[in-house]
């Protein structure tokens, strides 16, 4: 472990503890290695605009891991996964759940497959596809989307992944009047409020079917 990695690991532990997130040493090591890989690949590929270590911990790790409070079921899909967010941090800390990371851009698919191999994430499957073209033989329990599309468009893109019990967790900059709204297709959405909401830079919207 390099001196940079040791320092980064300490910062990760400190920031996670500051929001009462406590994980095993193995998970912390994997989260640290993930950010290291993301930083290295970002020098060549455009994976993230967030590059300061403290900001990466907050925006990439804490925001992703805060979603664990809202996950439902064992089959999780991360649509438009990009640099593996929020799917990779959640797969590291939620090893009993299965994560499918969907990404259409080849370079990002290569990164996701490299990370899942290096970190030995046996609960991760990477799909090189557009989300609307992803076959869904079985619906997913939770659909994750981080800044993928406006909610009405996102629901059209992901509707085939839903069952009546599926939950969509959308990290988005958009909001709606009040704390809830209804959308075409029988979807109802609520914006998360309270202490957990403060961990997100935008809004976390939870969508379910009526």
pLDDT digits (tens, 9 = 90+) for 186-206: 999 999 998 999 999 889 999
Domain-located, residue 32 = no
Which CATH number covers residue 188?
3.40.50.150
The predicted pLDDT at position 177 comes to 66
Q: Mean pLDDT across the chain, nearest whole number?
A: 92
Pair of tokens at residue 15: 């920031």
What is the average pLDDT across 65-69?
96
- Which pTM was predicted? 0.94
pLDDT digits (tens, 9 = 90+) for 76-130: 999 999 999 999 999 999 999 999 999 999 999 999 999 999 999 999 999 999 9
Domain-located, residue 83 = yes
Domain-located, residue 22 = no
For residue 115, the enclosing domain spans 59-209
pLDDT at 32 over 90: yes
- State the DSSP string of 47-70: --S--SHHHHIIIIIIHHHHGGGG
Domain-located, residue 141 = yes
Mutual angle of helices 106-118 and 25-42, in 10-degree steps: 150
* Structural domain count, the chain: 1
β-pair partners for 60:
none
Domain-located, residue 42 = no
Q: Percentage of residues in the chain with pLDDT exceeding 70? A: 98
The predicted pLDDT at position 137 comes to 75
């Amino acid at each position: 472990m390099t001196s940079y990695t040791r320092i980064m690991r300490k910062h990760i532990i400190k920031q996670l503890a500051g929001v009462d997130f406590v994980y095993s040493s193995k998970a912390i090591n994997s989260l640290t290695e993930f950010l290291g890989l993301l930083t290295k690949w970002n020098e060549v590929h455009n994976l993230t605009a967030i590059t300061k270590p403290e900001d990466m911990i907050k925006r990439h790790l804490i925001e992703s891991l805060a979603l664990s409070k809202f996950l439902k079921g064992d089959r999780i899909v991360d649509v438009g996964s990009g640099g593996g967010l929020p799917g990779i941090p959640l797969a590291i800390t939620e090893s009993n759940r299965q994560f499918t990371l969907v990404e259409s851009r080849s370079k990002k698919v290569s990164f996701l497959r490299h990370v899942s191999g290096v970190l030995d994430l046996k609960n991760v499957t990477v799909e090189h596809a557009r989300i609307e073209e992803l076959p869904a033989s079985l619906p997913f329990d939770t659909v994750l989307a981080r800044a993928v599309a406006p909610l009405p468009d996102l629901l059209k893109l992901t509707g085939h992944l839903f069952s009546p019990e599926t939950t969509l967790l959308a990290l988005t900059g958009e909001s709606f009047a009040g704390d809830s709204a209804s959308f075409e297709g029988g979807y109802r959405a609520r914006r998360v409020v309270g202490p957990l909401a403060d961990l997100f830079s935008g809004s976390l919207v939870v969508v379910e079917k009526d």
